[in-house]
């Protein structure tokens, strides 16, 4: 019997505040078109210190459990992908287990590799279930991060924050993975990193774009070779292998990156299938191809900014929220990139109940209920000390970090 494993449900948690990039551009004396058209970002999520990685992750997990009537006893693995940990030893996942009241009998751990950490956790869960070792249990994988480059840096308009929690099981209502097809590409590079003790990342911005695109070419070609061998896609000039995917979601540090990524992916196909890059064809087809395969995945990302580990999965959520009905039963591709660097291209089929299932995440409400802040308020929030959160009661269903006592982080639930 063929094993079916993948993402059954998801939930998203975002900080309360959002900054509009046209406001930021004006305050920085930059043409707003640079941020909105040049980088493709309209808004970015802004945290206060009470909305730390744990609070965002725990809020997303509680939403996932409540909206999908998940029996906590059915969960056998809880993994958090994050590059914004709160302790050198105690993982974010451990705090989340406590906050969400999850039972004792489960594997609980964090996975770190920049923005790729969540994907590493997702694949560990999928392969754990597919192997039969899970014994019928499900896994919860959470991607939770705060992307912080600092005020008045080149990376400033590419910040953001948020968490995506995913229920992984043998009932893949949203996405059933193509087992064994994943293509990988990784290398030891210094494109982006955050040395111990620093709140802000160190980044070689333009080089990081090159590293991303290089990794994409490698991971995609690796996936394509495996997919061709299993006759999942065919090499045909009339329908390139990537065109045989109904949609493609990329890691989205800023939305323009998805456009660059899609152009690179198509170039891999055009070079390899036709033997040479056909510029005239690409000129004719690229805009339509981007609109058909990628645009839907940017609907939420363009209003949240980079959320590191969760960015790919926020893109996936946006893709389904914008048009799951048209994707039901169809194969899509997803590309995960983490600086440093590690990457993976994988594919799967959208479940037949995906349109109803994604409604349980109430994504329009999650994104629409945030408050717009001024640039002055954003700068004030950025300057607050990380361990001294303002005394604000948590919203119903949400968690907040309330401070440190005896070296222990404390949280309140709303």
- Site for ligand HMG, rule CB under 6 A: 31, 33-34, 37-39, 83, 114-115, 154-155, 158, 191-192, 203, 205-206, 208-209, 212, 251, 253-254, 256-257, 306, 308, 337-339
Minimum separation from the CB atom of position 21 to ligand HMG (A): 11
Which tokens in the block code for residue 242?
Answer: 């990537």
Q: CB of 49 within 8 A of CB of 387?
A: yes
Burial of 302: CB neighbours in 10 Å, binned 0-12, 13-18, 19+: buried
Looking at the Cβ atoms of 50 and 253, the one nearer to ligand HMG is 253
Task: Write phi, then psi, for 97 (nearest 5 degrees).
Answer: -55, -45
Three-state secondary-structure class, residue 296: helix
Q: In the structure, how many helices (H) and strands (E) does the chain have?
A: 12, 17
Looking at the Cβ atoms of 143 and 247, the one nearer to ligand HMG is 143
Minimum separation from the CB atom of position 113 to ligand HMG (A): 8
Told to judge if 255 belongs to the known catalytic residues of this protein, a careful annotator would answer: no
Catalytic-role residue among 115, 211, 301, 341: 115
Residues in the chain, overall count:
414
Looking at the Cβ atoms of 42 and 63, the one nearer to ligand HMG is 42
Looking at the Cβ atoms of 155 and 296, the one nearer to ligand HMG is 155
Inter-CA distances, 396 with 59, 90, 104, 413, Å: 10, 27, 26, 8
Task: Write phi, then psi, for 93 (nearest 5 degrees).
Answer: -60, -35
CA terminus-to-terminus distance, the chain:
45
Minimum separation from the CB atom of position 19 to ligand HMG (A): 15
Told to judge if 251 belongs to the known catalytic residues of this protein, a careful annotator would answer: yes
Minimum separation from the CB atom of position 260 to ligand HMG (A): 7
Task: Write phi, then psi, for 214 (nearest 5 degrees).
Answer: -65, -45
Inter-CA distances, 179 with 5, 176, 268, 347, Å: 8, 9, 23, 9
Query: Could you tell me which residues are beta bridge partners of residue 144?
Result: 163
Q: How far apart are CA 281 and CA 36, in angstroms?
A: 28
Looking at the Cβ atoms of 164 and 203, the one nearer to ligand HMG is 203
Which tokens in the block code for residue 290?
Answer: 């981007």
**88: Cα within 13 Å, side-chain hemisphere:** 4
Q: CB of 414 within 8 A of CB of 396?
A: yes
Q: Which of 343, 318, 330, 121 is nearest to 223 (CA)?
A: 343
Minimum separation from the CB atom of position 286 to ligand HMG (A): 13
Minimum separation from the CB atom of position 134 to ligand HMG (A): 29
Looking at the Cβ atoms of 53 and 208, the one nearer to ligand HMG is 208
Told to judge if 285 belongs to the known catalytic residues of this protein, a careful annotator would answer: no
Which tokens in the block code for residue 288?
Answer: 């339509």
The count of other CB atoms within 10 Å of the CB of residue 156 is 19
Q: Which of 95, 132, 128, 127 is nearest to 110 (CA)?
A: 95
Looking at the Cβ atoms of 207 and 277, the one nearer to ligand HMG is 207
Minimum separation from the CB atom of position 410 to ligand HMG (A): 28
Catalytic-role residue among 8, 43, 83, 156: 83
Catalytic-role residue among 17, 20, 113, 251: 251
Distance of alpha carbon 375 from the chain centroid:
26
Distance of alpha carbon 311 from the chain centroid:
3
Minimum separation from the CB atom of position 5 to ligand HMG (A): 26
Looking at the Cβ atoms of 99 and 203, the one nearer to ligand HMG is 203
Catalytic residues: 83, 115, 251
């Amino acid at each position: 019997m063929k094993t079916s494993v993948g993402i059954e449900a998801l939930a998203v948690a975002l900080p309360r505040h959002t900054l509009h990039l046209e406001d930021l551009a004006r305050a920085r004396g930059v043409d707003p078109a640079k941020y909105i058209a040049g980088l493709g970002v309209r808004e970015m999520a802004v945290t206060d210190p009470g909305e730390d990685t744990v609070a965002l992750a725990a809020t997303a997990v509680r939403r996932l459990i409540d909206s999908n009537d998940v029996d906590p006893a059915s969960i056998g693995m809880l993994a958090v992908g994050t590059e914004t940990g709160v302790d050198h030893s105690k993982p974010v996942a451990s705090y989340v287990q406590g906050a969400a009241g999850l039972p004792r009998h489960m594997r609980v751990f964090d996975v770190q590799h920049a923005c790729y950490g969540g994907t590493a956790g997702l694949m560990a869960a999928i392969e754990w279930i597919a192997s039969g070792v899970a014994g019928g249990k499900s896994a919860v994988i959470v991607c939770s991060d705060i992307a912080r480059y600092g005020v008045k840096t080149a990376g400033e308009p590419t910040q953001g924050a948020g968490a995506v929690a995913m229920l992984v099981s043998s009932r893949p209502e949203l996405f059933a993975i193509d087992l064994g097809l994943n293509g990988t590409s990784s290398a030891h590079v210094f494109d982006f990193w955050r040395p111990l003790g620093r709140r802000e990342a160190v980044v070689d911005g333009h080089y990081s774009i090159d590293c991303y695109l290089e990794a994409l070419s490698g991971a995609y070609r690796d996936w394509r070779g495996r997919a061709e061998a299993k006759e999942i896609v065919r090499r045909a000039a009339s329908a390139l292998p990537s065109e045989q995917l109904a949609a493609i979601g990329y890691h989205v540090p800023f939305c323009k990156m998805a456009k660059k990524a899609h152009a690179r992916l198509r170039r891999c196909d055009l070079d390899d299938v036709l033997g040479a890059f056909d510029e005239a064809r690409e000129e004719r087809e690229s805009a339509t191809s981007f609109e058909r395969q990628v645009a839907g995945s940017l609907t939420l990302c363009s209003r949240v900014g980079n959320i590191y580990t969760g960015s790919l999965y926020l893109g996936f959520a946006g893709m389904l929220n914008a048009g799951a009905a048209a994707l039901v039963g169809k194969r899509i591709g997803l590309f995960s990139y983490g600086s440093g660097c590690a990457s993976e291209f994988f594919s799967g089929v959208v479940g037949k109940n995906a349109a109803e299932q994604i409604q349980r995440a109430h994504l329009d409400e999650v994104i629409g209920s945030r408050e717009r802040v001024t640039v002055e308020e954003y700068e004030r929030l950025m300057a607050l000390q990380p361990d001294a959160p303002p005394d604000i009661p948590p919203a119903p269903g949400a968690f907040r970090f309330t401070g440190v006592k005896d070296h222990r982080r404390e949280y309140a639930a709303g």
